[in-house]
Amino acid sequence: MDFIIGAEIKKNVRKKGLTNKAFAEKMNMEERNLYHFFKKETLDVDILLQASEVLDFDFLGLYIRNSKFKNSSFSQHKHASQPSVESPMKVEDIQNQISFSINLKGDFDKVSQEMSNFLQLVKKEAELRGFKLA
């Protein structure tokens, strides 16, 4: 059976003792939509983060660890063309850089435990797409 993130969220709603109505309100959604929500195998990252905050549980990390793609040959593929030693960056390379930031809320120990796994996954996915992380 496939991993169903919606079902995992539903379990945590029950553990927290929230009613469907209360959870739906905190998620800014209609209660009648929860039936389908709890059956979803995939959810947007924003929704996973919102549910994580509402229920004080790392659903993004849980989803990443249980994703149906976690063991795929694509995710394990390494680009042979990428050099193992970083070369100095040119000015035009610097102009085409992007950055992002993450705001995390939660218990320090929980976040610390999962952060290393999360950062390794981000680095791996970025490298698969031809990016270099600083």
The ranges assigned to domains in the chain are 5-128
State the fold for domain 5-128: 434 Repressor (Amino-terminal Domain) (1.10.260)
pLDDT computed for residue 65 by the predictor: 86
SS3 letters for 26-42? HCCCCHHHHHHHCCCCC
Closest CA to 16 of 56, 45, 47, 68: 56
For residue range 32-79, list pLDDT tens digits in order: 999 999 999 999 999 999 999 999 999 988 998 887 666 654 444 444
At residue 19, φ and ψ (nearest 5 deg) are: -80, 160
For residue range 96-134, list pLDDT tens digits in order: 555 566 666 667 667 767 777 777 777 777 777 777 766
At residue 115, φ and ψ (nearest 5 deg) are: -60, -45
